[in-house]
Structure 1
Amino acid sequence: MLQFLWVIFPYLMLTIFIVGHIYRYNVDQLSWTAKSSEFLEKKHLKWGSMLFHIGILFVFVGHVGGLLIPKSLMESLGVSESMYHAGAVYGGGLAGIITLLGILILLNRRLTNKRVRLTSDTSDLITVILIFLIILIGIYNTLIGNRLHPHFDYRETISPWFRGLLTFVPDPSLMKGVPLGFQLHILISFALIGIWPFTRLVHVWSVPLSYFKRRYIIYRKRAS
């Protein structure tokens, strides 16, 4: 079971992620869109989207630092265990709460606004629910899980396991004693990665950089 959960399943989801994007881009580019529903409802979308995207940026940076930078390197740079823990709890907790508020607004909008709900397909609902669960469990791990398991250090278990995935030498035994909340957070995240190519999340890779260098569009009134 350890081999499946912490080696086979992650690589399977990553393979689907890569192959799925290539397939969809080459076969169905017309669906490569965020399918904006701003014209259906704007107020809640504005606040929900703003909070979610601001929060998720800080969450992403925190995860990169915690998973990819070894504990020994952090300590050699003068970042002690207590300093790192304080930053993870207070900074990560705040970023998580901001992200959670954003996704709650977006989830409520998608479920309760009739016009938005009618334009949503199954993948939209699954995506937003998975993101909500990932964020909720992540906040639980940060604010509560760490207190329930004070001797657990994910930088000595999850982080080296994750780096092993990236270098193709994963050690599933590192995940054996990881608390359930952290395990669920990881597994649901990989599930989201697996369905990513088949949802509107593909719009993340379509950054409109050409917009900043395009010529202005001039509108002139037609002579009567």
Structure 2
Amino acid sequence: FNSREYQQLRIDPIHEKAFICNYKEHWFTVRKLGQQWFNLNSLLTGPELISDTYLALFLAQLQQEGYSIFVIRGSLPECEADQILRIMRVEQQQRPKLIGEDEAQRMSVQQTSDPGHTADEVLLDEDEEEIGKALALSRQGMEVEDEEADLRRAIQLSMQGGSDPAVTAGSSQESGGSEEQALTAEELRRRRQAYFDSGTKPSQ
């Protein structure tokens, strides 16, 4: 195919039957099966469909990469794929990848995210981190609610004034008369704490 003699014939590659491509010690076939061309490179995960318009460009690209391309003529052995594709055409939704390409991508993702963990472990760690954040927020909300409840109870007790023994001191006799004395802040705090701890009002 690369020779001057063949190029002078100006033959459109789509009119041929097959090509064998070689680079160093690697050989593969580009062959027409039915009415469609396929790249049968064994380094791919499967046959690659090549359109008629792309065939010449594909062969030219191989030439630039250093491949020797041989034109195959004559009667080729019959194969089941050729028989089926003479009846129907196929469409390829996704180009086959090089063997090991997926594994290389997974390894790249693994090394980028965390050299010491596999991709599955990284995803698991991320899930655990999200769950931990959610639990922390939940606990924080519960603590705020508990603090608000305690604050409401304290305000209610303070608003009761001298009628509540937890807020006022017991009666004492001074200069022959009875008078209620206000509790100091520390005594009020201790009585309220005792009230919350025991669930009952402290005795006077």
Given the two structures, how large is their TM-score scaled by the length of structure 1? 0.16
Structure with the higher fraction of residues in helix conformation: 1
Structure with more strand by fraction? 2
Work out which of the two has the higher radius of gyration on C-alpha atoms and give 1 or 2: 2
Bigger RCO of structures 1 and 2 (CA < 8 A, at least 6 apart) = 1
